[in-house]
Amino acid sequence: DGDLKFSLESVKKLKELMDENRHINPRMAVSTASYSPCDEKDLPEEFQSVCKREDASMIFERLNLAVQDGDLCEICANAACAGCF
Question: How does pLDDT run across 11-67, given as a tens digit for each residue?
Answer: 888 888 888 776 554 555 444 556 788 988 889 999 999 999 999 988 888 887 777
Domain assignment present for 2:
no
Domain assignment present for 80:
no
Domain assignment present for 81:
no
Burial label for 47, CB within 10 Å (0-12, 13-18, 19+), is buried
Domain assignment present for 82:
no
Do 7 and 15 contact (CB within 8 A), yes or no? Answer: no
Distance in Å from the first CA to the final CA of the chain: 19
Domain assignment present for 83:
no
User: pTM here?
Assistant: 0.62
* Domain housing 51: 8-75
Give the chain's domain count.
Answer: 1
40: left (phi over 0), alpha (psi -120 to 50) or beta: beta
Domain assignment present for 34:
yes
Domain assignment present for 3:
no
